[in-house]
Structure 1
């Protein structure tokens, strides 16, 4: 699983940071990617990545402020031109469906694929055999949600040599064992899947929080998460503004990660008021209390591999 940031700025675009959008790349797990928020010009940002809009399976919107949704009409339209034909599911607060449908209607935009809208409330918003996504309301100036993505436990690796030593022939029966099914050999012996596979492995947990003040639901969504993506619009010197505008500081985010027992923290949604030297100082402050933290930039990508998070380079 990879996370790639397409926009890490707050409020409006700047020369170095676009408005909010990030992709959770599940190419190995599902052959698709999920998008969280879609600020203005998100599709322009995608052009500078390896992401293919036709591979976009789901869009999760945290709230209806413009810097989180103004990129949707253009992206939805371009997905048709770029070969997207599969169902696209869009999750978000009440009002999102009306806004998208009216925009497409008034602009006479025709899509070559169906859209399913899911109005988000507290609780489970998506579940299948591989993933569970839950949402909880946060504390912003308008209704806003955070999302918790849980990958369900993974089957253990098949110990092929052990299976063959027990007399399992190469072929379909090895696949059955790998998929958790016991088999019966030609001589009548039963080989149990649990005897020739490693124990199941825990999946990853990723929490993506929308704009919010520090709140209990942010902690609950982040509990024991492998990765928490948290806004850091302000710093300690501007914490009064953070409270007034329903945002968090860098230290608010760090404290949420600590309370939740999270393993890694990715800080985004930075105000354009901060210069590079300010951002460096903000990260140093966080590292004093929470070591595994990054302040992210547009186009940066992070890889979750073998239960570790690290910046990803395609070089």
Structure 2
């Protein structure tokens, strides 16, 4: 599981940062990429990476401001031109269907794949697919805006083959039954409980990606115990009044969300073009004063999200 930032700027593209788009790469988990927002020029940014548009299976739009959606028609059309034949699902606020359909119709674009556009009507569990769950909640922005929480299913403990071999239990179909946790009677009359031969399970990972917002309790709700929270940081700590007026967050407000949510890592994005060079690091340091494990990301940064350690690994690590 990996996050790759295709655009990390706010409002308009700049020489340093393109506008918002984030790829959640689930290639090992489900051979798929999920995109969060798709600002102008996103497909051009993709050309600088190893991402294949045909691998994009779902796109989640936080809100309908242009710096988050103007890249959608081009990306969807190019996905078709480049051999994408599998279906594509787009989730977003009411109005996203009209925007996409009108753009494709006016430009006489024809797709070779099934496009499903789902307008969000209720918050909470958005969908569950192959064990993955995605939740959404409304945030506090000038127009309707959502944040998303992606939960990976827990990993079953591994079958302790060495332990079975020590007990002279030969490999075969019985191993599958043991791995399923069944009580099994062996040919020699021994009865074993499969649960005794399964290692400790491992919690799935949690990723929270928030749209533009003021500081809001729903951000904390979505980020509860997350491995990573992606939060906007449009303004510096001393610009709280401006952040409130423009329905955005400061660096320290984002950090406060991560701290109160008990998250493991905070990634700051949606950086205003006014912050260059040293000023960017000042934003990061402001956030670190509240939540130390903070990083301001830049375009094309890739952040690996490692599997959680189980209790045995934690003890060995200590």
Q: TM-score range by the shorter chain?
A: over 0.9
Alignment of 1:184-223 (within 5 A): 185-187=186-188, 189-223=190-224
- The 3 A distance-change label for structure 1 pair 104 and 287 is same
What secondary structure does 1:29 align onto? Answer: helix
Residues 1:166 and 1:140: Cα distance change in structure 2 (over 3 Å): same
Relative to structure 1, is the Cα distance of residues 37 and 194 closer, same or farther in structure 2, using a 3 angstrom cutoff?
A: same
Tell me if 1:248 matches 2:273. Answer: no
1:119 aligns with 2:110: no
Task: Give the secondary-structure state (helix, strand or coil) at the position aligned to 2:175.
Answer: helix
Q: How far apart in 1 are the matches of 2:183 and 2:112?
A: 44
Task: Give the Cα–Cα distance (whole angstroms) in 1 for the partners of residues 255 and 119 of structure 2.
Answer: 30
Q: Secondary structure at the match of 1:5?
A: strand
| Runs of 5+ unmatched residues, structure 2 | 310-318
Task: Check the 8 A contact 1:207/1:227 in 2, yes or no.
Answer: yes
Flag the 1:192–1:117 CA change in 2: closer, same or farther, 3 A.
Answer: farther
Pick closer, same or farther for the CA change 1:107–1:231 going to 2, 3 Å: same
TM-score by length of 1: 0.93
**Residue of structure 2 equivalent to 1:259:** 260
What's the CA shift for 1:52? Answer: 1.1
Alignment partner, residue 226 of structure 2 = 225
1:180 CA displacement = 5.0
- Judge conservation of contact 1:148–1:205 (CA < 8 Å) in 2: yes
CA distance in 1, matches of 2:30, 2:217: 32
- Tell me if the contact between 1:155 and 1:179 (Cα under 8 Å) persists in the aligned partners: no
| Structure 1 residues 214 and 85, CA gap change in structure 2 (3 angstroms) | same
Give the corresponding residue for 1:311: none
User: Which residues of 2 match residues 87-126 of structure 1 at below 5 A?
Assistant: 87-120=87-120, 121-126=122-127
Q: 1:161: Cα distance to partner?
A: 1.2
Which residue pairs with 2:75 in the alignment? 75
Per the TM alignment, residue 33 of structure 1 is displaced from its structure 2 partner at its CA by 1.1
How far apart are 1:271 and its partner, in Å?
0.2
Provide the rounded CA distance (Å) in 2 between the counterparts of 1:72 and 1:241: 30
Residue 274 (structure 1) aligns with = 275
- Report the counterpart of residue 16 of structure 1 in structure 2: 16
Change (3 A) 1:103 1:188: farther
Aligned length: 308
Q: Residue 22 of structure 1 contacts residue 35 of structure 1 at CA under 8 Å; is this kept in 2?
A: yes
Matched residues in 2 for 1:45 and 1:127: separation?
29
Change (3 A) 1:105 1:265: same
Give the 3 Å change call, closer, same or farther, for CA 74–183 of structure 1 in structure 2.
farther
1:145-160 aligned within 5 A = 145-160=146-161
Check whether the contact 1:155–1:180 (CA below 8 A) recurs between aligned residues: no
Q: CA RMSD in A?
A: 1.7
Q: Which residue of 1 aligns with 2:312?
A: none
In structure 1, the residue corresponding to 2:305 is in which secondary structure? strand
Residue aligned with 1:116, SS: strand
Rate the CA distance shift 1:181–1:128 in 2: closer, same or farther, 3 A. farther
Structure 1's 182 and 302: CA in aligned 2 closer, same or farther, altered over 3 A? farther
Change (3 A) 1:86 1:191: farther
Q: Contact (CA 8 Å) 1:136, 1:147: kept in 2 or not?
A: yes
What TM-score, normalized to structure 2?
Answer: 0.92
Once residues 202 and 232 of structure 1 are traced to their aligned partners in structure 2, the CA distance between those partners, rounded to angstroms, is 29
What does residue 41 of structure 1 align with?
41
Map of 1:61 onto structure 2: 61
CA deviations on 1:176-202 (whole Å, 9 max, x unpaired) are: 544555655444655443221112211
Cα 1:179/1:85, change in 2 over 3 Å: farther
Separation of aligned partners in 1, 2:184 and 2:54: 39
Contact 1:80 / 1:112 at 8 angstroms: preserved in 2? yes
